[in-house]
Structure 1
Amino acid sequence: MARLDRTSARARPAAPVRAVHLGLGAFHRAHQAVYTAADPDWGIAAYTFRNTELPGLLTEQEGLYSVQVRGDTAPRVEIVDSISRVHRGDDTERWLADLASPEVALVTLTITEAAYRAPDDLAGTALGRLLAGLRRRYETSRAPLSLVPCDNLPGNGAALRSALRSRAQRCGAEFRAWLDEQVSFVDTVVDRITPATTEQDRTTTARLLGLEDRAPVVTEPFGEWLLAGEFRLGRPAWERAGARFVDDLDAYEQRKLWFLNGAHSLLAYTGPALGCGTIDEAVRHPRLSEWVESWWDAAARHATLGPDDLLEYRRRLRRRFASRGLRHHLRQIAADGSQKLPARILPVLRAERRRGRLPGSAVAALAGWLLHLRTHQVRDPRAEELTALAHGPDAPRRALAALDEELAADDELVAAVEDRARELGAAR
């Protein structure tokens, strides 16, 4: 079988690089790169600092890869051609040259929530590399630039601005002034479920495509991209693929974080104890489904968007979660809980406690997280610390204190989490 490349796929030549992406992975390739492919004048130079194999595979395929879209009907495969170049993260000079180029108008980022809370010592971090690239741009062209973070953080553009600004204190007043005046930070809300690709997915892709793709991505039919902010040197025509540009993202950020991501975290931490391994299995479990509905009821009491919008969103989420086309593994969603739970679960929990309510769904999510720390291999920037806190005397309170000191002082909540964790542990 022939290997996928621009000749075998009869694809257009690689477009000039006008965008740079930091954090190349499955989600970027299922989301931002797909939207960018709608504009043939924009090519992406993509950098990954985690996966050392992917740059070589995609370079052999001349930046091409396929997206297998799977829902409740037969899967279909699309070839994406917006990535013009792919580089390892240690290709420092190429990275600096790309960031300095006045032809490059924007940088998109998928660096995970944890990266925005990097230590002040930025050596080897995504923020450190980004700051170095911005300094090179300032020292050379001083051209404007737009930064477009696509991670699940409330106000991710503002969060990125704050993180960079606080770490640029030693870079000189003129550089900081240029950063304030010439670099824009765009807030975004992104949504497209993208599970890890399996060998079976690769086999199916090859059968449907008729070509060997060594870097395929699997995703769902649904996708959403909302953006708010200024683009100093232009942008791709992302709206051709359905992106929407709005004035205020707060209500949409809240809806997505609480309803989709919050339910995902709830299922990721409670599902394994009840014998579930994937989202579609978990949402079909009677008890887990009840917790999800209860969670959505609690979130709706504090959400900004109106009830009609939320009811439609919930209906759509039920269908997406239950789709058997995707095998979205709970262990993948469970990673980085200490970074995700504060944005997904805790705001609703705090609001409920202020009104004297103790939502059982939020208790279940925290209890499941505690059990996860005790019984699973933990993928989290604070894994060693959290695993230690989850064992020993007063473990529920100590683990909660790592997320929120005020909630850890709530004796009723701590007791409820401990009881539910014991119950979930017995169900294993």
Structure 2
Amino acid sequence: MSAQFQTPPSATSPAADLPRLNRQLRPVPKAPVRIVHLGLGAFHRSHQAWYTQQASDSADWGIAAFTGRRPDAAVALAEQDGLYTLVERADGGDSFAVVGSIVEAVDGADLGRLTALVAAPETALVTLTITEAAYGLGADGKLDISAPDVAADLALLGSGSAQPATPLGRLVLALAARRDAGSGPIAVVCCDNLSNNGTVARQGVAGFAKAWDPGFAAWIDGNVSFVSTSVDRITPRTTDEDLAAVREACGYRDNSPVVTEPFSSWVLSGDFPAGRPRWEDAGALFVGDIEPYENRKLWLLNGAHSLLAYAGQLRGHKTVAEALVDPECRRAVEAFWDEAEANLPQAAGLQIPEYRAALAARFSNARIAHNLAQIAMDGSTKLRMRAVPVLKAERAAGRTGAAAALMIAAWMDYSATAASFQDPLAEDVAAANRLEGIERIKALLAVIDPVLAGDASVVRLVEGLCGTEAGYPASL
């Protein structure tokens, strides 16, 4: 179990005089690597790594976590033998725990180590937090092999080079090594915020493999299980103030603490042919049909986050808690929740009224500085999962879908005014924003969903909801 620090000890020494967190200072045993993770970041450490440490068989399940674009997180974590402090930040105060389930922190570009670990027979599963955009799927739900980064990786793989740069290219290369080693079946567990994310991961990986080697794609079909999950734990970026708080409370230096809320949720559906940790010991739920749970989370939590990210920033707010205090933003969120709830099954297990109440309380936790600018990134991908399904369902039911359309309208206005706009389709968005009037609305809708862009009534609805920063959100 992790070491807990509920009452801060005195730590009056200067920071430089405090010891660095490591496994000698906090004797957390190293488990053997049986899990490989792609996308080492704060959320993985607050969620999957935390769940793994809470498992009763955690001594058997070590994680080797690989970074994505940059090696920084791996370098920092390696200095501490993979240990870090998890800070649970509640309204009433902080609690501190040392997490040691990550036993290797590795630069994602170290493909030799990645392939060796995935090929090892002891490795039972690969978990992914590579962001929504990294799966590279087109509007048809299949891998877009014409995308420049995908095409570049396929060319490298075809030439025999072992240096693909995308997460999927690297994973496919590593799975090929497992096939060649005869190490048997393995599970790939997608933990990104995507509807039916196991299928998304399957389409991305299988599409990559098929474009490279159809025979290898057949091996994946018979030997790789793709597990769908719904993940939930608000985890803002760590600040210098958080580093100082850990030093003061715990009496050591930690360069990689993670701050998160006390709440956590993990729902999984799929097969684990080589085994898995007992994540249920920490409250994980294993179900046969995950779709209602993932839609509840994607629409109610993530959808509200996106709505606040765009409308809130247009109204001058910086954090989720700050935006939710704004009566206009709160009204827009409640209206979207009403639309989303109307299209979720009313099964008792979903407990939607209770879930909404819990979300309002979690969003209002002002001690969790969940920055709207961070949530706003990659909007074209996120809105396909968070706004488009609700809007289409509302229209199919004969209702307007105005609250979901408002989220899209706010994104459009934000895309035209933001000082920094990060999106995988930023060039397409910029080109659309050079148009005027209804043509701009059509072009921006086409970036998100071509079907909606072809519906004149939806185009008019979104156009009417677009507004100025001072007046946002527009009246529903």
Say yes or no: TM over 0.5.
yes
CA deviation profile, 1:322-379 (whole Å, cap 9, x unmatched)? 1112010000000111111011011111122233432332232112101111111111
Residue 167 of structure 1: how far off its partner (Å): 2.0
Look up the SS of the partner of 1:21 in the other structure.
strand
RMSD (Å) for aligned C-alpha atoms? 1.7
Compare 379-388 and 281-290 and name the one that shifted more. 379-388
User: Could you say which residue in structure 1 is the equivalent of 2:374?
Assistant: 332
Residue 142 of structure 1: how far off its partner (Å): 3.4
Of 270, 283, 288, which aligns to 2:324?
A: 283
User: Could you say which residue in structure 2 is the equivalent of 1:113?
Assistant: 132
User: Could you say which residue in structure 2 is the equivalent of 1:351?
Assistant: 393
1:4 paired with 2:21, answer yes
User: Could you say which residue in structure 1 is the equivalent of 2:427?
Assistant: 384
User: Could you say which residue in structure 2 is the equivalent of 1:424?
Assistant: 469
User: Could you say which residue in structure 2 is the equivalent of 1:37?
Assistant: 53
1:415 paired with 2:465, answer no
Residue 227 of structure 1: how far off its partner (Å): 0.8
Cα distance between partner residues in 1 of 2:202 and 2:317: 39
Of 298, 302, 305, which aligns to 1:261?
A: 302
Cα distance between partner residues in 2 of 1:351 and 1:231: 33
Look up the SS of the partner of 2:355 in the other structure.
helix
Do the aligned partners of 1:71 and 1:324 also contact (CA within 8 Å) in 2? no
User: Could you say which residue in structure 1 is the equivalent of 2:359?
Assistant: 317
Of 441, 451, 454, which aligns to 1:406?
A: 451
Question: Aligned AA for 1:293?
Answer: E
Cα distance between partner residues in 1 of 2:425 and 2:335: 30
CA 142–103 in structure 1, closer or farther in 2 if over 3 Å, else same: closer
Cα distance between partner residues in 2 of 1:363 and 1:348: 9
1:294-305 aligned at under 5 Å gives the runs 294-305=335-346
Cα distance between partner residues in 1 of 2:218 and 2:73: 37
Question: Aligned AA for 1:2?
Answer: P
CA deviation profile, 1:149-170 (whole Å, cap 9, x unmatched)? 1011111112111222222225
User: Could you say which residue in structure 2 is the equivalent of 1:70?
Assistant: 89
Cα distance between partner residues in 2 of 1:361 and 1:283: 16
Do the aligned partners of 1:191 and 1:225 also contact (CA within 8 Å) in 2? yes
TM-score (ref. length: structure 2)? 0.86
Unpaired runs of at least 5, structure 1? none
Q: Which 4+ residue blocks in structure 1 deviate beyond 6 angstroms?
A: none
1:72-151 aligned at under 5 Å gives the runs 72-117=91-136, 119-120=144-145, 121=151, 122=153, 123-151=164-192
Residue 427 of structure 1: how far off its partner (Å): 6.0
Cα distance between partner residues in 1 of 2:424 and 2:440: 19
Compare 116-125 and 216-225 and name the one that shifted more. 116-125
1:361-400 aligned at under 5 Å gives the runs 361-376=403-418, 377-393=420-436, 394-400=439-445
Cα distance between partner residues in 2 of 1:128 and 1:74: 43
Cα distance between partner residues in 1 of 2:382 and 2:346: 22
Look up the SS of the partner of 2:422 in the other structure.
coil
CA 176–366 in structure 1, closer or farther in 2 if over 3 Å, else same: closer
Cα distance between partner residues in 2 of 1:108 and 1:8: 29
Do the aligned partners of 1:101 and 1:141 also contact (CA within 8 Å) in 2? no
Question: Aligned AA for 1:421?
Answer: C
1:44-59 aligned at under 5 Å gives the runs 44-59=63-78
Cα distance between partner residues in 2 of 1:142 and 1:3: 38
CA deviation profile, 1:388-407 (whole Å, cap 9, x unmatched)? 21232221221011112222
Question: Aligned AA for 1:41?
Answer: D
Compare 25-34 and 36-45 and name the one that shifted more. 36-45
Do the aligned partners of 2:315 and 2:470 also contact (CA within 8 Å) in 1? no
Do the aligned partners of 1:291 and 1:360 also contact (CA within 8 Å) in 2? no
Question: Aligned AA for 1:189?
Answer: S
User: Could you say which residue in structure 2 is the equivalent of 1:225?
Assistant: 266
Unpaired runs of at least 5, structure 2? 1-17, 138-143, 146-150, 154-163
Question: Aligned AA for 1:358?
Answer: T
Look up the SS of the partner of 2:178 in the other structure.
helix
CA deviation profile, 1:106-142 (whole Å, cap 9, x unmatched)? 1000011111116422341110000000001111133
Cα distance between partner residues in 1 of 2:204 and 2:98: 36
CA 265–173 in structure 1, closer or farther in 2 if over 3 Å, else same: closer
Aligned residue pair count: 427
Compare 393-402 and 305-314 and name the one that shifted more. 305-314
Cα distance between partner residues in 2 of 1:427 and 1:107: 43
